[in-house]
Amino acid sequence: MTYLIVKAALSGILVMIISEVARRSPGFGGLIASLPLVSVLGIIWLWRDTSDLERIASHSQATFWFVLPSLPMFLVFPMMLRHGLGFWLSITLSCLLTMGLYLVTLWILPRIGINL
């Protein structure tokens, strides 16, 4: 149980640091958020929990393929905000776009020989 609390605390601290830095400097906050820190933490936790190299390799590869459909959100979201759609509508539509792109990714990958 202590291990789960440590994992949650470290992950939460990372999000808190990013949000605090972004309040002072949106660009630097974005830089920190773009670092694969959460992915690296996930890989470390997976290594500690399983020591299964194949599982870690598969996880890392899946992360790569799922990052790609999430990228348009970071262009569409600010565009909608700047066009006056409002925060909640923009974030909702951006998340729906991302979910749709995830579904398209899940449909396309097996057809091109990539199984996650």
How many angstroms separate the Cα of 97 from the Cα of each of 66, 73, 86?
13, 7, 16
Using pLDDT thresholds of 50, 70 and 90, give the confidence band for residue 107: very high
Please identify which residue in the block is written with the tokens 């690296």.
40
Any idea what DSSP says for residue 79? H
Number of domains in the chain: 1
- With a cut of 80, say whether residue 34 has pLDDT above it: no
A 10 A CB-CB count for 38 gives 14
pLDDT digits (tens, 9 = 90+) for 79-99: 999 999 999 999 999 999 999
Point out the least confidently predicted range of 36-45, 69-78, 101-110: 36-45
Q: Is residue 22 a part of any domain in this protein?
A: no
Q: Global pTM? A: 0.77
Answer whether residue 46 is part of any domain: no
91, with CB counted inside 10 A (0-12, 13-18, 19+), is middle
CB atoms within 10 A of CB 9: 10
More confident residue, 101 or 26: 101
Does 98 fall in a domain? yes
Domain membership of residue 32 (yes or no) is no
